[in-house]
């Protein structure tokens, strides 16, 4: 019980400052579009867990049995190469390969990665880990995050149950719980079609500005009514004149080369209430 408590305190000391830092300044785990990167976040989480395991085992060994504690074919680190390095390898392969694939596709114009809309607090919502660029839940990202989280819980809880035994003797096949989802995540990055993406819209008078990416030969509709849209040469945003009959709220859809964006619901911004002096 005392060993498990000390291990939890060490985990808090290791992961706490990292979480606070990322909460205030999440740039380290964001992608090139400014959104939270699923592959970077999970690779970092696995790194923190493995470092915590090794530090805890080191501290326990030095206080309990000295150097002799680490010797022998069944020592506390014996499952390291057969179980834990493969568990860590899957997320890192997905991280490196996904960055390469996305970078090449963006350069070749086969994938649109519009910048993420800014947040008032400067923090990124955790939902971005399981969502696509339009903000809708992505099933592949969801299964990658869910299965990786469950596997992390297995490792942490089995380790806390018997800290003195060292790295938990989990089945070697458990690497598939991170490797297979990581592979599916990578294939999804390679297969995703270059759909246009709408990330924001603003209305000034009858002038509508639609922000996003992938706007090549794009047709814009407002509640299924087509508009003549023109791309801004500087920002790349679409601009159109809104007909008098179109009043907020309305739904925007961009179609480029036969591919449709996810519907974007635009609602008129609410004005702050004015207080009169009494």
Residues 33 and 109 in one domain: yes
Domain end (from 191, 218, 248): 191
Tracing tokens 């903000």 back to the chain, one arrives at: 135
| Separation CA 139–CA 85 (nearest Å) | 26
**CATH number of the domain encompassing residue 234:** 2.60.40.10
250 or 119: which carries more pLDDT confidence?
Answer: 250
Residues 169 and 105 in one domain: yes
Tracing tokens 């074919």 back to the chain, one arrives at: 73
What's the structural domain count of the chain?
2
> Angle CA(67)–CA(46)–CA(83) in degrees, nearest 5?
60
Residues 50 and 128 in one domain: yes
Residues 171 and 63 in one domain: yes
Per residue in 214-267, pLDDT tens?
A: 787 788 888 888 888 888 877 778 888 888 878 888 888 888 877 788 888 888
Q: For residue 210, tell me if it sits in a domain.
A: yes
Contact between residue 195 and residue 214 where contact means Cβ atoms under 8 Å apart: yes
Q: For residue 184, tell me if it sits in a domain.
A: yes
Backbone torsions φ then ψ of 30, nearest 5 degrees: -105, 155
In this prediction, residues 153-160 reach a mean pLDDT of: 92
Q: What percent of the chain has pLDDT over 90?
A: 17
Residues 69 and 101 in one domain: yes
Token pair belonging to 2: 């005392």
- Of how many residues is the chain composed? 278
Domain end (from 131, 166, 191): 191
253 torsion bin: left (phi>0), alpha (psi -120 to 50), beta (else): beta
Residues 76 and 117 in one domain: yes
| Residue-number span of the structural domain to which 238 is assigned | 197-266
Residues 74 and 108 in one domain: yes
């Amino acid at each position: 019980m005392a060993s498990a408590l000390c291990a939890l305190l060490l985990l808090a000391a290791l992961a706490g400052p990292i979480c606070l830092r990322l909460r205030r300044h999440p740039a380290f785990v964001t992608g090139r579009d400014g959104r939270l990167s699923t592959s970077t976040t999970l690779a970092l989480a696995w790194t923190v867990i493995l470092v915590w395991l090794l530090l805890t085992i080191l501290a326990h060994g030095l206080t309990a049995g000295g150097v002799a504690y680490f010797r022998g074919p069944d020592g506390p680190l014996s499952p390291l190469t057969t179980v834990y390095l493969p568990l860590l390898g899957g997320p890192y392969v997905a991280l490196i390969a996904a960055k390469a694939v996305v970078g090449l596709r963006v350069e070749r114009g086969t994938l649109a990665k519009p910048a993420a809309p800014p947040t008032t607090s400067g923090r990124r919502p955790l939902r971005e880990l399981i969502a696509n660029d339009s903000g809708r839940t992505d099933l592949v990202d969801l299964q990658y995050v869910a299965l990786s989280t469950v596997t992390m819980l297995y490792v942490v809880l089995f380790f806390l149950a018997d800290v003195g035994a060292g790295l938990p003797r989990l089945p070697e096949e458990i690497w598939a719980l991170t490797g297979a989802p990581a592979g599916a995540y990578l294939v999804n990055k390679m297969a995703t079609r270059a759909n246009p993406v709408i990330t924001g819209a603003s209305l000034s008078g009858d002038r509508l500005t639609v922000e996003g990416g992938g706007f090549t030969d794009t047709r814009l509709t407002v509640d299924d009514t087509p508009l003549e849209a023109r791309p801004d040469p500087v920002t790349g945003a679409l601009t159109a004149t809104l007909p008098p009959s179109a009043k907020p709220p309305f739904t925007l859809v961009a179609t480029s080369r036969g591919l449709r964006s996810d519907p974007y619901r635009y609602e008129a911004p609410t004005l702050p209430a004015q207080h009169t002096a009494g």
